[in-house]
Amino acid sequence: MAHAKAEIAERGLVSTVTESYYAMVSAMRKYANAQQSQQEAEHFLDITRKQERGGEVAHSDSVKAEIQFVQRQRDTSESQLGLDKARIGLAVLLFPDFRQDFTVVDDLDTPRPLPVFTAIQALAGEKSPDIRAAQAAVEQQRWEIKSSRAALLPTLSADYFFGINANQFALHNPEGYRNIGSVVQAQLNIPSGPGARRAAASNNRNCASSRPRTISASPIASSSPTSTRSTWRRLPPIRKSLPCAIPWTFPPRASS
């Protein structure tokens, strides 16, 4: 933040010096034009007075020429004052004291070749914080568009689970069923429409936010085969009541 503020202050100083420089150049031009106008008014006054002495013009024409000459003198004085003011303003920015023994070069009429547009665009992207922020926003929107397009593609995911789900730490329970098992779960999502995509996204958020549910297999394994089969038939309604897909496998009987 401090570096950015220092950069902004430096740019402001450069802009102020440049503005004061060309303000002095403009004041010099105005002073030169005022001097030229004063010389022309003086020359016109001299011609009018000579014509008045020769009887060619009336005295009122000489008075008008004299008034015009006085106005041009006033314009020259104001231009001189503006030039001195611009010189002092530039001297305050350039020198520690109010020295005025310097001149500026009038380069307003000097044509300068402009760089190509790509170079200007690259320079603006490197130097302008506002353009850098705008470019970052455009890049962010571009990636959001790519993410939205990727949501229209099918997704495939696979999960593998291995472990023990029993009340005792053993390979087999007393009835001979295995306590250790594994399961592989694969899921393929194919978006078919906006409603399906919203439902799938909502379902995925619900599955991700819900706590894992574990059902112990030991009560099933500890009962008789007939009761085990009847209990297993009662499980589908329970599976349908769960919001997320949970793999269900019947524990195989250990081989003798």
Whether residue 57 is found in the same domain as residue 129: no
Same domain for 7 and 95, yes or no, is yes
Least confident of 97-106, 162-171, 213-222: 213-222
What's residue 38's pLDDT?
A: 93
pLDDT (mean) for 127-139 = 79
Three-class secondary structure of residue 107 per DSSP: coil
Our CA angle for 179, 184, 187, nearest 5°, is 145
In a domain, 256, yes or no: no
Instruction: Write the pLDDT tens digit of every residue in 59-75.
Output: 899 999 999 999 999 99
Q: pTM (2 decimals)? A: 0.45
Lowest mean per-residue pLDDT among 112-116, 177-181, 195-199: 195-199
What are the structure tokens assigned to 103, written together?
A: 């001149």
- Per-residue pLDDT at 247: 46
**Domain for residue 89, yes or no?**
yes
Pair (12, 97) in one structural domain: yes
Do residues 160 and 211 both lie within one domain?
Answer: yes
Q: Which helix (H) or strand (E) holds 94?
A: helix 59-94
Flag the least confident range among 72-86, 125-139, 154-168, 175-189: 125-139
Q: Are 143 and 151 in contact (CB under 8 A)?
A: no
pLDDT score for 217? 40
248 in a structural domain: no
Whether residue 174 sits in one domain with residue 128:
no
| Residues 70 and 26 occupy one common structural domain | yes
Whether 141 and 159 share a structural domain: no
Same domain (yes/no): 7, 102: yes
Asked if 211 contacts 161 with a C-beta cutoff of 8 angstroms, the reply is no
Q: CB of 168 within 8 A of CB of 179? A: yes
Residues 123 and 70 in one domain: no
Which pLDDT band holds residue 77 (cuts at 50, 70, 90)?
Answer: very high
Domain assignment present for residue 250? The answer is no
Indicate if the pLDDT at residue 111 is higher than 80: no
Q: Is residue 251 assigned to a domain?
A: no
Number of domains the chain contains: 3
Is the confidence at residue 223, as pLDDT, over 50? Answer: no
Q: Looking at the structure, tell me whether residues 134 and 225 fall in a common domain.
A: no
3-state secondary structure 196-232: HHHHHHHHHHHHHHCCCCCCCCHHHHHCCHHHHHHHH
Q: What is the mean pLDDT of residues 124-136?
A: 76
Same-domain status, 121 and 167: no
Query: Mean pLDDT over residues 141-152, rounded?
Result: 86
- For residues 234 and 203, membership in a common domain is answered with yes
112: which 2 tokens?
Answer: 């300068």
pLDDT value, residue 228? 43
For 158, the 3-state DSSP assignment is: strand
Each as own residue / partner, the long-range contacts of residues 35-38 (CB below 8 Å, 24 or more positions apart, any chain) are 35/76, 35/79, 37/72, 37/75, 37/76, 38/69, 38/72, 38/73, 38/75, 38/76
Could you tell me if residue 237 is inside a domain?
Answer: yes
What is the per-residue pLDDT for 234?
53
3-class secondary structure, 241: helix
21 found inside a domain: yes
**Tens digit of each residue's pLDDT (9 = 90 or more) over 238-255:** 444 444 444 444 445 544
- Asked if residue 55 is part of any domain, the answer here is yes
pLDDT interval class at 28 (50, 70, 90): very high
171's CB contacts (< 8 A; 6+ apart) are: 178, 179, 180
% of the chain exceeding 90 in pLDDT:
22
Give the bridge partners for 181, in sequence order.
163
What is the domain range of residue 198?
155-241
Grade residue 194 by pLDDT with cuts at 50, 70 and 90.
low
In angstroms, the Cα distances linking 244 to 112, 207, 213 are 70, 6, 10
Burial 195-205 (b: 16+ CB within 10 A, else e): eeeeebeeeee
pLDDT single digits (tens) 82-91: 999 998 888 8
25-54: average pLDDT: 92
